[in-house]
């Protein structure tokens, strides 16, 4: 039977058959993985100490019209599912007042439609993802570009209005889809022109060319020498820490010199920067230490016969400890690979241990520059001024944002600090993101707010809930007046 | 049952919200306070049995109307009457008029119990109106909630033969066979407007166009009245010629309704293009801050 997977809802006499992933005719009950669930259009953050608690009472409200909100001071109404009143010169869908420590607070809750938006992606890897400025693609469509290499990570910039609406329709659609997935914490496959393929997901390790990145490097090759020189001293004659950025050589490095490590006659390829520090020992890649080499000996030239000696012990290791090899020189001064001695195994393990887990970080960046502000106040520029003057706090699904200095209200938010599935889209294409403005009631009146649309939290019955999620302990409480708006 | 329905005044203290299963009504009556209270009491008393009445004949209401099997319920009969004129032209079931018919019934309960100046019952965008002589309603209009759109008001005066407004489109809560973003119909009664809006929205179409995603209604909702018919799930970008062709089809349908008095006017919207059929209401475009609109959404 084709409808075997449908379930029957008995919430009302319509008795809908509901297929998995779909809603009944009321749009309120749905089939979530075979279970009948109430789905709420509107997320309310309950202040709680931990995540993971979730209670789901339901309300009698019409999602378009009325904003019945749970009572109580410790509840913050997020904009998720609030809907929008675009074109935005109507009052925002929900304007909620609540008294916090004797001060009447107002939260203007709306969902913004962001054509001017994108994500800044930090991918913790030293592997070369592709040349700066090169195009990043999803499903073959250009959705962004490679920006800079940062410490232990590669930065990509995805989205932006030029990809969303400036290119072909298909480019815009795929860009929107990519941003939406990333912001809602789903994995996305990206490829960089002349570079790597990478699977990214907020808060998860990146997968570069089918290899899951586990750890960030402990430091550059030179820093690694500095950190571990003492632990190597006496156990090995020479250490090369292979790094695409700066490869370190123990015997030549300041740290080795201070310990009295004798010269070994080692000769590196690449360009020497300062003693024991080499640039460009190889090409960037996804192998040893973010280079393209799989054979570490390929970055060495023959040892200097006058200085080197047979039996010389050489450790080569990458900056994450992920790759390592141990050699001893034979009579002809050729390195011969041997098993890593136990004493060195420890130091390699320690490099690994000191590397932080490699993650992908997704920051949503959007600008509430134009008409969205008009849903908050009849005089939109005053909202910008108010945010600028730190009288109004901006949150995104209850999560703190970083506000860019300068004009407009351009902000960034870590999507992993927001409730799940906080983002939506419209076919424009553009992303729909929640945005809340919280300020004192008096300040709201002063900036020309829609005072006649303000609703009081306490005036509404407690049993009419929306979707409750626990607040994250590491997020500042959005209504707490003790924290400055930019705190994060 | 009576305990299932939820009825409450909205926080503004003026509008009444009634909810039961898939039915959500927003109601507002205007007039002397005692009359408003009487109207709301009557509406509430009527409302609590509406869903049960409809569900008792649901399987019949999900089939094309037939003279052999007429429903018993007063709302069900109103639904059937509203769709019958259309059933010779294209597939339609009484369910196409359920929202308008319910709105009408509740409005009727109010106006028979109280002397009101004016009143409306809004059933998810399908609206039944009451206007006493000399009264008028200002109706806010938005072309589409998610794109640049004109925004204005229309004034509906008591002398116009319009007491029902309905909107249908593939983006709405119900499935559509067509691709219109929204078709808004003004008609004599809400159930008529509802049925006509459904028909016109179904007619705005480009059959077998590759950028239109469709799925069998039964694959999405097994008990839907549309059965194996293909309902619109996605509409890609269309060229101006294609938009015009689709709107032409809808306009032809709407125009054919005019001489029979099935509709007073209709506005058809598709990807930013609008076609108006029939007599329009006096409209005023709001003094909108146009510089804030356009491509800049946020």
- pLDDT at residue number A106: 58
Query: What is the distance in angstroms between the Cα of A2 and the nearest Cα belonging to chain B?
Result: 8
Q: What is the pLDDT of residue A375?
A: 67
Beta bridge partners, A368, equal none
For testing contact with chain A, the best of B56, B147, B235, B297 (most A CBs within 10 A) = B297
Q: How far is CA B102 from CA B96, B106, B107, B132, in A?
A: 12, 6, 9, 21
Exposure pattern of A29-41 as b/e (b: 16+ CB <10 Å)? bbbbeeebebbbb
Residues paired with residue B243 on neighbouring β-strands, in sequence order: none
Supply the pLDDT for residue A482.
39
* Mutate: best of A13, A111, A407, A460, partner B, most B CBs <10 A: A13
CB contact under 8 A, B11 and A68: yes
Q: How many CB atoms neighbour CB B158 within 10 A?
A: 16
Mapping DSSP to helix (H, G, I), strand (E, B) and coil, where does residue B213 land? strand
Q: Phi and psi (nearest 5°) for A294? A: -110, -20
Instruction: Give the integer Cα–Cα distance in Å for A120 and A159.
Output: 9
Tokens 């910039």 found at: A157
Residue A441, exposed/middle/buried by CB under 10 A (0-12, 13-18, 19+)? middle
Residues from chain A contacting residue B218 (CB–CB below 8 Å): 3
Q: Do B222 and A6 count as a contact with CB atoms less than 8 A apart? A: yes
Rounded to whole angstroms, the Cα distance separating B284 from B298 reads 25
B20: nearest CB among A12, A89, A459: A12
Contact A319, A242 (CB under 8 A): yes
In terms of phi and psi (left: phi > 0; alpha: psi -120 to 50; beta: otherwise), the region of A374 is: alpha
Q: What's the pLDDT at A197? A: 95
Which tokens go with B147? 């794109």
- Which H or E run contains A318? strand A313-318
User: CA nearest B27 in A: which residue?
Assistant: A65
Written as tens digits, the pLDDT of chain B (298 aa) is: 345 788 878 766 788 888 888 898 888 899 999 999 999 999 999 999 999 999 999 999 999 998 888 999 999 999 999 999 999 999 999 999 999 999 999 999 999 999 999 999 988 778 899 999 998 887 665 554 333 333 445 678 899 899 998 888 887 778 899 999 888 888 999 999 999 999 999 999 999 999 999 999 988 888 888 989 999 999 988 999 999 999 999 999 999 999 989 999 888 888 878 788 887 666 544 333 322 222 222 2
HSE (side-chain half, CA atoms, 13 Å) at A393: 27
For residue A457, what pLDDT is reported?
60
On whether any CB of chain B is under 8 Å from the CB of A379, the answer is: no
- B168: closest CA of chain A, how far (Å): 15
Question: Model confidence over A132-190: pLDDT tens digits?
Answer: 999 999 999 999 999 999 888 999 999 998 998 888 888 988 999 999 999 999 999 99
Burial class (CB in 10 A: 0-12, 13-18, 19+), B288: middle
Q: Would you kindly state where each structural domain of chain B is located, as residue ranges?
A: 6-286
Q: Are B138 and B154 in contact (CB under 8 A)?
A: yes
Strands B136-142 and B273-278: unpaired
ipTM above 0.90, yes or no: no
Residue A80 is predicted with a pLDDT of 57
Rounded alpha-carbon distances, angstroms, from residue B3 to A38, A58, B24 = 19, 16, 16
Chain A nearest-CA distance from B223, in A, is 6
- Output the pTM of the full model: 0.48
Q: Which of A3, A89, A115 sits opposite B296 (nearest CB)?
A: A115
Write down the pLDDT at residue A87: 36
Cα-flanking dihedrals φ and ψ of residue B43, to 5°?
-60, -45
Predicted local distance difference test score (pLDDT) of residue B274: 79
CA distance A243 to A279: 9
- Residue A232 tokens, joined: 């190597």
User: Min CA distance, B102 vs chain A (Å)?
Assistant: 15
Return d(Cα A120, Cα A10) in angstroms, integer. Answer: 45
Hey, are the CB atoms on B223 and A430 less than 8 Å from each other? no
**Chain A closest CA to B232's CA: distance in Å?**
15
Structural element, H or E, at residue B129:
strand B126-131
User: Is B21 within 8 Å of A14 when comparing Cβ atoms?
Assistant: yes
Asked if B273 and B247 touch (Cβ cutoff 8 Å), the reply is yes
Pairwise CB contact (< 8 Å): A87 & B4: no
Asked if B18 and B5 touch (Cβ cutoff 8 Å), the reply is yes
Ranges under pLDDT 70 in chain A = 1-3, 28, 38-111, 369-375, 455-488
- B298–A374 CB contact, under 8 Å: no
The residues in A 150-189 lying below 8 A from B, measured between CB atoms, are 165, 169
Residue A464: predicted pLDDT: 39
Window 6-35 of A: residues touching B by CB (8 A cutoff) are: 6, 11-19, 22, 24-27
Q: State how far the Cα of A174 lies from the Cα of A39, in Å rounded to an integer.
A: 27
Helix (H) or strand (E) holding B24: strand B23-30
8 Å CB contact between A148 and A139: no
Q: What is the CATH number of domain B6-286?
A: 3.10.520.10
Cβ within 8 Å, pair A84-B22 = no
């Amino acid at each position: 039977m084709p409808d075997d997977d449908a379930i029957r809802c008995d919430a009302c006499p319509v008795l809908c058959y509901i297929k998995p992933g779909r809603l009944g005719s009321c749009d309120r009950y749905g089939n979530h993985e075979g279970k009948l669930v109430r789905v709420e259009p509107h997320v309310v953050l309950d202040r709680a100490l931990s995540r993971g608690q979730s209670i789901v009472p339901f309300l009698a409200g019409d999602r378009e019209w009325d904003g019945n909100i749970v009572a109580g001071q410790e509840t913050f109404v997020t904009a998720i599912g609030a809907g929008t009143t675009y074109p935005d010169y109507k009052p925002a869908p929900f304007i909620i007042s609540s008294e916090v420590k004797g001060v009447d607070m107002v939260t203007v809750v709306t969902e913004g439609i962001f054509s001017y938006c994108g994500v800044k992606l930090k991918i913790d890897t030293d592997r070369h993802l592709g040349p700066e400025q090169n195009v990043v693609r999803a499903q073959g469509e250009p959705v962004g570009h490679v920006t800079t290499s940062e410490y232990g990570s590669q930065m990509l910039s995805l989205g932006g209005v030029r990809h969303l609406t400036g290119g072909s329709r298909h480019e815009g659609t795929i860009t929107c889809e990519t941003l939406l997935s990333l912001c809602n914490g789903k994995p996305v496959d990206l490829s960089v022109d002349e570079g790597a393929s990478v699977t990214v997901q907020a808060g998860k390790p990146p997968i570069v060319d089918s290899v899951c990145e586990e750890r960030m490097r402990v430091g550059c090759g030179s820093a690694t020498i500095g950190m571990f020189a003492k632990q190597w001293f006496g156990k090995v004659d020479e250490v090369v820490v292979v790094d695409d950025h700066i490869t370190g050589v123990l015997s030549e490095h300041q740290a080795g010199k201070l310990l009295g490590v004798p010269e070994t006659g080692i000769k590196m390829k690449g360009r020497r920067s300062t003693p024991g520090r080499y640039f460009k020992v190889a090409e960037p890649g996804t192998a040893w230490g973010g280079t393209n080499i799989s054979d570490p000996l390929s970055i060495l030239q023959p040892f200097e016969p006058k200085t080197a000696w047979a039996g010389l012990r050489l450790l080569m290791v990458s900056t994450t400890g992920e790759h390592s090899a141990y050699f001893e020189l034979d009579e002809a001064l050729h390195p011969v690979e041997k098993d890593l001695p136990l004493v060195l195994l420890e130091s390699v393990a320690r490099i690994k241990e000191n590397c932080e887990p490699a993650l992908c970080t997704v920051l949503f960046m959007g600008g509430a520059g134009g008409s969205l502000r008009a849903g908050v106040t009849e005089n939109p520029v005053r909202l910008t001024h108010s945010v600028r003057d730190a009288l109004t706090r901006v949150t995104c699904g209850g999560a703190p944002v970083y506000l860019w200095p300068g004009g407009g209200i351009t902000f960034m938010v870590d999507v992993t600090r927001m409730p799940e599935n906080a983002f939506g889209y419209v076919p424009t294409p553009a992303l729909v993101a929640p945005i809340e403005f919280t300020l004192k009631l008096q300040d709201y009146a002063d900036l020309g707010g829609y005072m006649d649309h303000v609703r009081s939290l306490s005036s509404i019955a407690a049993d009419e809930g929306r979707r409750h999620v626990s607040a994250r302990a590491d997020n500042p409480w959005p209504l707490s007046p003790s924290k400055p708006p930019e705190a994060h | 049952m009576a305990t299932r329905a939820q009825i409450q005044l909205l926080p503004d203290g003026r509008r009444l919200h009634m909810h039961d299963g898939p039915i959500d009504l927003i109601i507002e009556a205007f007039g002397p306070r005692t009359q408003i209270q009487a109207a709301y009491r009557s509406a509430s008393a009527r409302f609590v049995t509406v869903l049960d009445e409809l569900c008792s004949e649901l399987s019949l209401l999900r089939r094309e109307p037939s003279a052999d099997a007429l429903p018993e319920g007063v709302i069900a009969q109103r639904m059937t009457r509203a769709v019958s004129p259309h059933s010779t032209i294209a597939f339609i079931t009484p369910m196409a008029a359920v929202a308008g018919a319910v709105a009408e019934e509740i409005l009727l309960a109010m106006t028979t119990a109280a002397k009101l100046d004016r009143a409306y019952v809004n059933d998810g965008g399908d609206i039944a109106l009451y206007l006493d002589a000399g009264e008028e309603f200002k109706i806010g209009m938005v072309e589409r909630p998610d794109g640049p759109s004109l925004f204005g008001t229309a004034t509906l005066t008591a002398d116009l033969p319009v007491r029902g407004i309905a909107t249908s489109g593939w983006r709405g809560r119900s499935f559509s066979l067509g691709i219109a973003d929204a078709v808004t119909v003004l008609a004599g009664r809400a159930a008529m407007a509802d049925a006509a809006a459904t028909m016109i929205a179904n007619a705005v179409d480009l059959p077998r166009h590759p950028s239109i995603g469709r799925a069998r209604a039964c694959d999405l909702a097994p008990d839907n009245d549309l059965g194996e018919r293909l309902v619109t799930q996605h509409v890609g970008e269309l060229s101006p010629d294609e938009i015009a062709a689709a709107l032409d089809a809808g306009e032809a349908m709407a125009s054919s309704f005019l001489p029979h008095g099935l509709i007073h006017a209709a506005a058809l919207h598709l990807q930013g293009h609008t076609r108006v059929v029939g007599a329009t209401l006096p409209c005023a475009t709001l003094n909108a801050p146009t510089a804030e609109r356009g491509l800049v959404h946020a």
